[in-house]
Amino acid sequence: MSTLRPSQLWLRIFVPFAVGYFLSYLLRNVNAVIAPELVRELNFSAADLGLLTSAYLAVFGAFQLPLGILLDRYGPRRVEAALLVIAAIGATLFALGHNLAELAFSRALIGLGVSACLMASFKAFSLWFPMERQASLNSAIMAAGGLGALTSSTPLSWALSLIGWRGAFFGLAVLAMIAAILIFTTPDKSATASRESLIDQLRGVGKVLTSFAFWRYAPQTALVVGGFMAMQGLWAVPWLMNFNGLTRDAAALHLLLMSLGMMVGFVAIATFVTRLAARGLKPEYILIVGMGCGMVVTLLIVIEGASSYPLWFAMGLVFSVGNLSYALLSAQFPMQLAGRVNTTLNLLTFVGAFAIQWGFGAAVDGFTAGGMSPHDAYQRTYAILLALQALSYGWYILAGRRHLAGKGA
């Protein structure tokens, strides 16, 4: 597909976009570790934390539909590089912020700035690498995100004692500018940009949104994958401190293990999913089993049924299968719609994550205001989330059977 050698493609295409997605995941999860500092220094409530952190998710998610059109029209190099400059500005303003409004606005800019990091990577890989390498490359870029999640746990907790949360965000601003430069200097394939009119591109989005296949995947992706993101990105550390009585460092270690489990899951999927499919174990079955195991793990966490360290590692491991939804859903649409299918599903993921991050904090505040202990308030809130996730999981399975029955008819 190109005149560049495979080693050059890896260095000049994969590595810059991997740096961008590493940064995206790091910025997504950083508030989980700095939450105690924000509460202590700025007197934030749980609802304030939820609103602040979910501002990233709200803007990130809202931009997914126009993002798909921009990536098809202008290509991943220009779009992601420009957006990462906005992320750098947002991180700088966050480091300088002193109240909820300033920090929420800065967090929204960060969400906009990193909104293309995964989807632009998928687009770039489709332009530069052969089709048979797409699955392994997509999982590899997810592993780069997992490394960002790992960095946002215990390593970041250690760094805070040296440079504070404001210093950390100044450093993240510098990293965002470096990533923007790396991506902007990658080779260009502007000739591959879409020649569809804007109206035709919007009609393609409409086809996705009105399809039964999309609405089979959307609720589970929004509530389960979005719920996992909400916990990893904010509520895991407060949960462990308030529900399990852990210190911030001990809670950050649990977050590290969850992120490590997620990364192991991504690597395992990249390595084995094609081989398993050749032996009859389809990716959809892996998704169903993984999500079901995730429900059981979450239930054990909610009821304190077992040692927490292996449970949080297992949560990251099993919920990593959620990203199979993108490939499974895209396979049910024409190839030219793949970018818009992915960004539309990503929109629902981030809508779910936004609503859960904000709603979780609001529910905890409401239960504690009613006289419930923080321990019980966190437990009841997480139990409600688990019930909603179980309903979406059941819908996914039942809708799949309806789809198969329709084919049989």
Q: Please determine, for residue 269, whether its predicted confidence score (pLDDT) is greater than 60.
A: yes
Provide the pLDDT for residue 87. 96
Instruction: Report whether pLDDT(406) > 70.
Output: no
- Considering the chain, what is the average pLDDT of its residues? 85
CATH of 6-403, one of 3.30.360.10, 3.40.50.2300, 1.20.1250.20, 1.10.10.10: 1.20.1250.20
Which pLDDT score, from 0 to 100, does residue 6 have?
Answer: 60
Q: Are 183 and 17 in contact (CB under 8 A)?
A: yes
Which one is predicted more confidently, 392 or 11? 392
Instruction: For the chain, give the secondary structure using H, E and C.
Output: CCCCCHHHHHHHHHHHHHHHHHHHHHHHHHHHHHHHHHHHHHCCCHHHHHHHHHHHHHHHHHCHHHHHHHHHHHCHHHHHHHHHHHHHHHHHHHHHCCCHHHHHHHHHHHHHHCCCHHHHHHHHHHHHCCHHHHHHHHHHHHHHHHHHHHHCCHHHHHHHHHHHHHHHHHHHHHHHHHHHHHHHCCCCCHHHCCCCCHHHHHHHHHHHHCCHHHHHHHHHHHHHHHHHHHHHHHHHHHHHHHCCCCCHHHHHHHHHHHHHHHHHHHHHHHHHHHHHHHCCCCHHHHHHHHHHHHHHHHHHHHCCCCCHHHHHHHHHHHHHHHHHHHHHHHCCCCHHHHHHHHHHHHHHHHHHHHHHHHHHHHHHHHHHHCCCCHHHHHHHHHHHHHHHHHHHHHHHHHHHHHHHHHHHC
pLDDT at residue 105, rounded to an integer: 93
From the centroid of its chain, how far is CA 287?
Answer: 17
Asked whether the beta carbons of 232 and 149 are under 8 A apart, the reply is yes
Q: What local confidence, expressed as pLDDT, does residue 133 receive?
A: 64
Distance CA 320, CA 190 (A): 33
Q: For residue 69, which of 181, 203, 190 has the smallest C-alpha distance? A: 203
pLDDT value at residue 226: 92
The better pLDDT of the pair 363, 155 is held by 363
Distances from the Cα of 4 to the Cαs of 9, 40, 135, 391, in angstroms? Answer: 6, 52, 21, 48
In this prediction the pTM is: 0.76
Alpha-carbon distance of 399 to 218, in angstroms, equals 12
pLDDT at 116 over 80: yes
Q: Which residue has the higher pLDDT, 299 or 271?
A: 299
What pLDDT is stored for residue 1 in this prediction?
Answer: 44
Q: Can you give the pLDDT at residue 43?
A: 83
The pair of three-digit structure tokens given for residue 249, joined into one six-digit string: 């460092």
If you average pLDDT over residues 56-70, what whole number do you get?
85
Please indicate whether residue 76 or residue 383 has the higher confidence score (pLDDT): 383
Which residues, 6+ apart, have CB-to-CB distance to 125 below 8 Å? Answer: 13, 14, 17, 133, 134, 137, 138, 141
At 106 the pLDDT is 94
Measured on CA atoms in the order 405, 407, 408, 409, is the torsion positive or negative?
Answer: positive
Residue 409 confidence class, pLDDT cut points 50, 70, 90: very low
- Percentage of the chain beyond pLDDT 90 is 36
* Residues whose CB is less than 8 angstroms from the CB of residue 141 and which lie 6 or more positions away in sequence, other chains included: 14, 17, 18, 21, 118, 121, 122, 125
For 357-379, what is the mean pLDDT?
93
> How many angstroms from the chain centroid is the CA of residue 90?
19
Q: What is the mean pLDDT of residues 69-74?
A: 81
What integer pLDDT is reported at residue 109 of this predicted model?
95
Comparing CA positions, the residue from 284, 86, 58, 272 lying closest to residue 173 is 86
Phi-psi region of 247 (alpha: psi -120 to 50; beta: other; left: phi over 0): beta
Dist CA 340 CA 118 (whole Å): 13
pLDDT, tens digit, 9 for 90 and up, residues 14-36: 889 999 999 998 888 787 778 88
Is residue 222 within 8 Å of 237, Cβ to Cβ?
A: no
Query: How many angstroms separate the CA atoms of 336 and 327, rounded?
Result: 14
Residues 214-259: tens digit of each pLDDT: 999 999 999 999 999 888 877 888 899 889 888 878 887 888 888 8
User: Would the pLDDT of 290 be above 90?
Assistant: yes
**Predicted confidence (pLDDT) per residue in 130-158, tens digit:** 665 666 677 778 888 888 877 877 788 78
